[in-house]
Structure 1
Amino acid sequence: MIPQEYIQEVVRRNDIEEVIGQYVQLRRRGRTLSGLCPFHNEKTPSFVVYPDTQSFYCFGCGAAGDVINFVRKYNNLGYVESVKQLASRAGMPLPEEEDKEARARQRLLEINRCAARYFYEQLNAKTPEAALARRYWKEKRGLSDAAIRRFGLGYAPEDFSGLLHYLRRRGFREDELEHSGLIKRSAKGNLYDIFRHRVMVPIIDVRGSIIAFGGRVLDDSKPKYINSPETVVYHKSRTLFALNIAKKSASKRYILCEGYMDVISMHEAGFDTAVCACGTALTPEQVKLLSEYADEVVLSYDSDEAGQKATERSLGLFANSPVKVSVLSYQGAKDPDEFIKKYGRERFDMLLNGTANPTEFQLKKAKAKYDLRSDDGRLNYIREAIDILTGHGVTPTARDVYAGRLAEETGVAKQAILSQMQGALRAADRRSHRKEQKEMVQKGIAADIRVPYTQGGDAALGAASASRQLVAALLQDPDEVPYVRARLNMDTILLPEMQQALQAIFRCAEEKQPVNLTSLQQRLDDKAFQQVALAQAQNHDQKLAQRDIDMYLERLQNAKPISERVAGTSDDQFLNFFANVKKEKGVQEPPPETDG
């Protein structure tokens, strides 16, 4: 383990404002800075940096911590690797002790490099199998030798132990191979290669490291694709295939494809910003990653039903992204690869320049569902179209244009459609306002605390809030730890996360370590740490004095279980009790939702 004193010094030498400012555009607001969160999609900044406490917190997704945690989360690194990266930035010599986590990651990357070399060598071997694989890449996929080299494409022979022996000869241990995602152990205890008789595609991250593989059969047998499992270096939900190549392009218009083969074919045809998700549906993390490189994204999925569903889902994920999104629509081919082969690069380029916007795509899809020759069909189409046109991101001008088109398609007067659209917009505004009011009521220091009714429910909310405020007070002034510890009865702490946090704070004080997020990060689980970071963030602009601590201690000591407060009451009295609790807290029930 790296000594705690060394970790604290790394944090001291890496100002959080400077480090995060390299990744996030920050705007100063008094003593804090804010910006768009790099860990989830948003248009209104909810990510806050606190220079006073050298910490950050996102009120949108809950991401929190110190400068080490930011680097760790942003770059998908292990804790020790993040410490070492920041130490290098500060010019600090590394501690002499070796670290298992970093060493394991490095060994896995070395295994992957060796495996990629093995697959490439096997593709170029003088065997009938290799010749078949080369024909697949060159004739069936139409790839040049340059494309094969650029993507590091290869072949896994039909051999249960070829790669296994290759890696063993290079000094890798059996336990390392089993964790690589390339080798498995059978029920009988024998190790064997996972990828066999498949053309191989290395998956490379933005830093140029080979982190996983995808393997495809040479015929139509099943399963068609096999992908590496997740490992300490590979998280498919946060990886985009070919982004390491696409990011070098001068173009900021990226093409999001459905699979590896589409991407490789696109690059071969000269479209060097093609990327795809890795063995999974598109994720919010991938959308966020893509938005760091692209100004515009063209969705280029297959034309079948699955591809259309993927398009619709992806449009939803991009709804809150700053990236402009459009949809590629084509006929006469099942996928972009086939289209390019049939009609050529120039025609595909024309398609790209005429891509439909998301509204166009959704309206076209809605129209295909209904028979416009019938009254019911026309009415249902208009109803669904209006839902689309009153949604997020559609401008008033676009609504007017599409209302005219709807009128032509259905024979219904444009004014009638616009009138119905205005009613839908007013109803949507009312729902949005009620939701906003409800969220405002729920906001505040204790808004997100949830106490099970078996432990006191709403009646115990004050005590639960007091425990979290107590944690915030001790983070502000660790000198108060002995005072609190002598007076606090831990049995009054209802929230397990706060019990864990207070115990960790007490241990830090005992061991004469700083009481801050850096120390607590290594002592708490994710849920408890997030709650501690939230408590600190919510109190950043108010000084909690000893009189506040006394109030929290008194509130904890005097809290009574709800069972004592409602014992012997009738059903009506029980309901009235909870109504009074809500009234005391100033919580108003929102009015029932109506669209009228």
Structure 2
Amino acid sequence: MAGQIPQRFIDDLLARADIAELIGERVTLKKAGRNFQGLCPFHDEKSPSFTVSPDKQFYHCFGCGANGNALRFLMEYDGLRFPEAVEQLASRYAMEVPRDTDDDPKAQARARERKRQQEASEHVLETAARFYRHQLGQHDAEQARQYLRSRGVSSELAKRFSIGFAPDSWDSLKHALNQRQVSEQEQVEFGLLIEKEGSNRTYDRFRNRVMFPIRDWKGRVLGFGGRVLDDSKPKYLNSPETPVFHKGRELYGLYESRQAAPRAERLLIVEGYMDVVALAQFGIDTAVATLGTATTETHLTRLFRLVSEVVFCFDGDSAGRQAAVKALSTVLPQMIDGRQARFLFLPEGDDPDSLVRREGADAFNERVLCASSLSEFLFEQSSNDVDLKQVEGRERFVSRALGFIRLLPEGVLKTVMIDALSERSGVERGRINTLLGEKADSAPADSHFERSYDAEPSSRAQPARTRFGDQTLNASERALLLLLHSPESIESVPEGTQWCPDTDSGTLLAKVVELIRAGQYRSAQVILMHFHGTEQGAHLQRLVKRQDLLLPAQYRAQELKNLVEHFKRQQTQLSPQQEYDALREKEQRGERLNRDDAVRMWQLAQELSSGQG
């Protein structure tokens, strides 16, 4: 196996590369002084905000924030992994890519495993998708075809979305894949089979369901969603988290939307597969669906690279409103200048599927155009159950609104929102800025925990703990909690695991750190799978549910760094015997002990004498 690409070669390659020439082959650029300008290829815009600097060998978009060097551009634009981008760029200059032969064996193993997973997933999941599509045309799929007809899904649309059918059988897919030399282990790994606990028996995960392949932006199948055709539960079933499928990253229908409407200016975020398919049936090709989870920062980062506006679509009931508030908190940090977010609330009892069938595409599009702006929804939510005629009501309104506005990045939108809040509340703008400044460097008000680990611990036998009411976590458990919810925070901690405490929870922390690094995992569910059926797995399951103790995502990496520093301090702390011996040696060398040292030495002598007695 080839080793890592040496940094010296990468530096030399970038020094030779002509970034303006490279990007100019893909994007129309015009000279603008010493730089070049053009329309950003990573989001839709009508006026150019994409700049390429030949001097700095760097590109930057002032609209969506995309930036980087020639390698980064190839990775983003052509969808290449880093080694592939290096190979492609090197081939332009007839340069052979060297590999370090003394590469870390663990790194080689990780690279081999990633390559195996990618190749296996493409073969296994594409084969499964073809099997499901074939089954939809078979005799025993009449109920599935009838269901699709009843929902207005034409055969052309079913083909476009690669909709299929999982037979009402425990092993039809398993046998079909076995015949194509796909091992049962791989079928379990990628979520197609379930392995019965305590035995080696396996069976098909999806049975008697209409199947919706979930594809990445290149069209590669990553997983499946299945809609049951009888009264079984759950009604909708997704693939589990796997090495290639992460619900918090992927969006159903994004590939199909980009194929049908590559120049769309907005995307509509809905809840279900059939909402996406039904809207497409009516010519609305700009809908995507989350996969049984709330919209995440990763989802929004991906969408804002493609369009400048997202519209969240929710039910009009209280649950829909609560989901909208969560989406508001998630989207606010993403609102750099030029982006828009709006909120569409449907009539109670309706979903996009039923509403577009009843009202038609034109009426539905009109609802989208009239959806509440981000500012309207923010101020509406902040003024709920508040009497703005009362001083107390205005105080509560301002406090709520500031909690949201504080999440906005610096820019025109934040400035305008502060002005609007001042006008609505009657509080002077300067006072609002002061209130914002007072809280700027502090943790959000909903982070109700006490980080006592920052202080030096009084004893190694009493590890620092994080408190929440009458429940506590020790520092190692706190680190595990952060890693489970934000595995990407692993980049903020030192290599190796020597810093992990020598305790049961510290040993588990070391295992999780090694696992995340080895698999490059970004999903708690994949991590938990590795500990399934063990005491450690049960402990991790309990921890992952403790969202009450979580900081917002933007603070977690720093929190983890603080914990690592705490662990290091603990490891350098002397035991009572070591501390006593050091003071005794100092005294024997003839050095005069000060009063504090003398008192401490006496205390240690008493403590050690008591322990021996």
Which range, TM-score by smaller chain? Answer: 0.5 to 0.7
Of the candidates 303, 307, 324, which is equivalent to residue 311 of structure 1?
324
> How big is each residue's C-alpha offset from its partner over 1:148-186, in whole Å with a ceiling of 9 and x where there is no partner?
111111111110000001111112122222212101222
* Cross-structure match for 2:195: 185
Is the contact made by 2:275 and 2:352 (CA closer than 8 Å) also made in structure 1?
yes
Partner SS for 1:426: helix
Of the candidates 219, 241, 264, which is equivalent to residue 251 of structure 1?
264
Partner SS for 1:234: coil
Deviation at 1:100, TM superposition (A): 5.7
* Cross-structure match for 1:429: 437
Is the contact made by 1:10 and 1:90 (CA closer than 8 Å) also made in structure 2?
no
- Would you say 1:170 and 2:183 are equivalent positions? no
Paired amino acid for 2:379: L
Deviation at 1:242, TM superposition (A): 1.5
- Would you say 1:347 and 2:355 are equivalent positions? no
Residues in 1 aligned to 2:273 and 2:594: alpha-carbon distance in whole angstroms: 66
Unaligned runs of 5+ in 1: 52-66, 407-416, 437-449, 457-494, 502-521, 527-558, 575-596
- Would you say 1:87 and 2:77 are equivalent positions? no
Alpha carbons of 1:19 and 1:230: their partners in 2 closer, same or farther (altered >3 Å)? Answer: farther
> How big is each residue's C-alpha offset from its partner over 1:318-338, in whole Å with a ceiling of 9 and x where there is no partner?
223232111113325432222
Deviation at 1:86, TM superposition (A): 3.2
Scaled by the length of structure 1, the TM-score of the pair is: 0.59
Alpha carbons of 1:281 and 1:385: their partners in 2 closer, same or farther (altered >3 Å)? Answer: closer
> How big is each residue's C-alpha offset from its partner over 1:340-365, in whole Å with a ceiling of 9 and x where there is no partner?
12222111111111121112113333
Deviation at 1:564, TM superposition (A): 7.1
Deviation at 1:195, TM superposition (A): 0.6
Residues in 2 aligned to 1:560 and 1:451: alpha-carbon distance in whole angstroms: 13
Is the contact made by 2:9 and 2:98 (CA closer than 8 Å) also made in structure 1?
no
Identity %: 26
Paired amino acid for 1:181: G
> How big is each residue's C-alpha offset from its partner over 1:429-475, in whole Å with a ceiling of 9 and x where there is no partner?
3444x779xxxxxxxxxxxxx9977999xxxxxxxxxxxxxxxxxxx
> How big is each residue's C-alpha offset from its partner over 1:3-52, in whole Å with a ceiling of 9 and x where there is no partner?
45x76797467528768996996776997858589xxx996x9x877x9x
> How big is each residue's C-alpha offset from its partner over 1:504-530, in whole Å with a ceiling of 9 and x where there is no partner?
xxxxxxxxxxxxxxxxxx9x969xxxx
Partner SS for 1:319: helix
Of the candidates 285, 289, 301, which is equivalent to residue 288 of structure 1?
301
* Cross-structure match for 1:115: 128
Residues in 1 aligned to 2:402 and 2:294: alpha-carbon distance in whole angstroms: 25
Of the candidates 128, 147, 159, which is equivalent to residue 136 of structure 1?
147
Deviation at 1:241, TM superposition (A): 1.7
Q: How many residues are aligned here? A: 431
* Cross-structure match for 1:205: 216
* Cross-structure match for 2:226: 215
> How big is each residue's C-alpha offset from its partner over 1:109-159, in whole Å with a ceiling of 9 and x where there is no partner?
1111111111112222112xx1111122220x2211111111111111110
Deviation at 1:305, TM superposition (A): 2.9
* Cross-structure match for 1:161: 171
Scaled by the length of structure 2, the TM-score of the pair is: 0.58
Residues in 1 aligned to 2:299 and 2:208: alpha-carbon distance in whole angstroms: 30
* Cross-structure match for 2:555: none
Partner SS for 1:199: strand
Partner SS for 2:284: coil
Deviation at 1:373, TM superposition (A): 11
- Would you say 1:274 and 2:287 are equivalent positions? yes
Residues in 1 aligned to 2:6 and 2:394: alpha-carbon distance in whole angstroms: 65
Is the contact made by 1:390 and 1:424 (CA closer than 8 Å) also made in structure 2?
no
> How big is each residue's C-alpha offset from its partner over 1:242-285, in whole Å with a ceiling of 9 and x where there is no partner?
21122231212111112222222222221212112233222222
Q: How does 1:181-580 map to 2 (within 5 A)?
A: 181-186=191-196, 187-219=198-230, 221-248=232-259, 249=261, 250-321=263-334, 322=336, 323-370=339-386, 372=387, 378-379=393-394, 382-383=397-398, 387=402, 392=408, 417-419=425-427, 422-432=430-440, 497=495
Paired amino acid for 2:176: Y
Alpha carbons of 1:173 and 1:14: their partners in 2 closer, same or farther (altered >3 Å)? Answer: farther
Greater Cα offset, 218-227 or 380-389: 380-389
Residues in 2 aligned to 1:216 and 1:155: alpha-carbon distance in whole angstroms: 9
Q: How does 1:49-68 map to 2 (within 5 A)?
A: none
Residues in 1 aligned to 2:9 and 2:181: alpha-carbon distance in whole angstroms: 34
Residues in 2 aligned to 1:419 and 1:389: alpha-carbon distance in whole angstroms: 17
Greater Cα offset, 264-273 or 419-428: 419-428
Residues in 2 aligned to 1:231 and 1:418: alpha-carbon distance in whole angstroms: 52
Unaligned runs of 5+ in 2: 24-40, 43-49, 100-107, 444-453, 461-492, 500-513, 519-571, 584-592, 600-613
Is the contact made by 1:147 and 1:268 (CA closer than 8 Å) also made in structure 2?
yes
Alpha carbons of 1:293 and 1:454: their partners in 2 closer, same or farther (altered >3 Å)? Answer: farther
Residues in 1 aligned to 2:57 and 2:397: alpha-carbon distance in whole angstroms: 48
Paired amino acid for 2:14: D
Residues in 2 aligned to 1:197 and 1:240: alpha-carbon distance in whole angstroms: 24
Residues in 1 aligned to 2:161 and 2:309: alpha-carbon distance in whole angstroms: 24
Alpha carbons of 1:84 and 1:422: their partners in 2 closer, same or farther (altered >3 Å)? Answer: closer
Deviation at 1:288, TM superposition (A): 1.1
Is the contact made by 2:341 and 2:373 (CA closer than 8 Å) also made in structure 1?
yes
Alpha carbons of 1:402 and 1:31: their partners in 2 closer, same or farther (altered >3 Å)? Answer: closer
Paired amino acid for 1:426: T
Residues in 1 aligned to 2:595 and 2:318: alpha-carbon distance in whole angstroms: 57
Alpha carbons of 1:265 and 1:122: their partners in 2 closer, same or farther (altered >3 Å)? Answer: same
Is the contact made by 1:298 and 1:326 (CA closer than 8 Å) also made in structure 2?
yes
Paired amino acid for 2:247: K
Partner SS for 1:254: strand
Alpha carbons of 1:245 and 1:111: their partners in 2 closer, same or farther (altered >3 Å)? Answer: same
Deviation at 1:301, TM superposition (A): 2.4
Paired amino acid for 2:426: L
Residues in 2 aligned to 1:227 and 1:346: alpha-carbon distance in whole angstroms: 32
Paired amino acid for 1:278: L
Paired amino acid for 2:238: N
Name the structure, 1 or 2, with higher relative contact order (CA <8 Å, separation 6+).
Answer: 1
Paired amino acid for 1:159: S
Q: How does 1:68-107 map to 2 (within 5 A)?
A: 82-84=82-84, 86-91=86-91, 101-107=114-120
Residues in 2 aligned to 1:232 and 1:305: alpha-carbon distance in whole angstroms: 35
Residues in 2 aligned to 1:499 and 1:264: alpha-carbon distance in whole angstroms: 48
* Cross-structure match for 1:474: none
Deviation at 1:293, TM superposition (A): 0.4
Is the contact made by 2:271 and 2:292 (CA closer than 8 Å) also made in structure 1?
no
